[in-house]
Amino acid sequence: MTAQPANLGSATESVVRDAVADVGFELESLEEVQVGQRWLIRVIVDSDAGVGLDGIAAVSRAVSLALDQRDALITGPYTLEVTSPGVDRPLTHPRHWRRNRLRLVRAALVTGGEMIGRIGDCDDEGVTLLASGALRRVRYTELSRAVVEVEFSHPPATELAALDGASRQDGEER
């Protein structure tokens, strides 16, 4: 039996997005896959404060209730899967960068090559990275792909201090 991706429609996405927002999270993505006679509804949520198990449970209840109240949206039985983005999720929106501040990132440059740096301040246009001991402002348009690197120890205090100092200087200039 092969899973067939489908688009249940913008009405389903709207209902799910509203239910997710009602419990304080953002809908990162919605995937609807038909497996035989059942639907798999995969909901990925995120927030600036992160997503814990209690949050996943709250979203699951809210989305399930919202979908059950609108039987016409999904015909037939479905399985609801609610999760948060994995650590290997590409950073594709400014909010992804903001949520990963102070984490190490590997970024491929549009011009070729890559850089590894620690994420500093971010805005809608770009990010400050601490790479090779120097602060560098990089516009998102200069990056073709970026993912967080998994670290098994705390970041060096000198790197955190450099990013904190840059953040304070930016705040003083405004």
How many CB atoms sit inside 10 A of residue 153's CB? 5
Residues 79 and 149 in one domain: no
Residues 102 and 78 in one domain: no
Residues 118 and 66 in one domain: no
| Residue 88 located in a structural domain | no
DSSP notation for 67-113? HHT-TTTS-S-EEEEEE---TT----SHHHHHHTTTSEEEEEETTS-
Q: What is the pLDDT of residues 83-122, one digit of tens each?
A: 998 878 899 999 899 989 999 999 999 999 999 999 999 9
How many CB atoms sit inside 10 A of residue 112's CB? 7
Of 36-40, 162-166, 168-172, the range with the lowest mean pLDDT is 168-172
Domain extent for 105: 94-173
pTM of the model: 0.67
Beta carbons of 81 and 42 less than 8 angstroms apart: yes
Residues 32 and 101 in one domain: no
